[in-house]
Amino acid sequence: MDMIDRLPLFSRTYDHARYAYSSRVVFLEQWPRALTPPAEPAAPWSPGPDDYLDAYHRVGNPWLWYGRLAIGEARIAADLADPARHCWRIDANGELAGFCELVYRNPLDAEILHFGLTPGARGRGLGGRLMRTALAGALSMGAGRIWLHTCSEDSAEAVGFYQHAGFRIFGTRLEWVTDPRYRGLLPAATGEGVRLPWSGEAAAALSRAADAD
User: Hey, CA dihedral for 196, 174, 157, 35, is it positive or negative?
Assistant: positive
pLDDT tens-place string over residues 104-153 = 988 789 999 999 999 989 888 999 999 999 999 999 989 999 999 999 99
pLDDT tens-place string over residues 50-88 = 999 999 999 999 999 999 999 999 999 999 999 999 999
Query: Running DSSP on this structure, what letter comes out for residue 9?
Result: P
Please give the radius of gyration of the chain, using alpha carbons only, rounded to the nearest integer.
18
The answer on pLDDT for 213 being more than 70 is: no
The answer on pLDDT for 37 being more than 70 is: yes
Q: Of 13, 67, 63, which Cα lies nearest the Cα of 197?
A: 13
Work out the burial of residue 155: count CB atoms within 10 Å of its CB; fewer than 13 is exposed, 13-18 middle, 19 or more buried.
middle
Model's pTM, two decimal places? Answer: 0.92
| Mean pLDDT, residues 24-35 | 93
The CATH number of domain 20-177, selected from 3.20.20.10, 3.90.420.10, 3.40.630.30, 3.10.100.10: 3.40.630.30
Q: What pLDDT sits at residue 79?
A: 96
- In the chain, domain spans: 20-177
Least confident of 8-12, 56-60, 170-174, 195-199: 8-12
| Mean pLDDT, residues 7-30 | 95
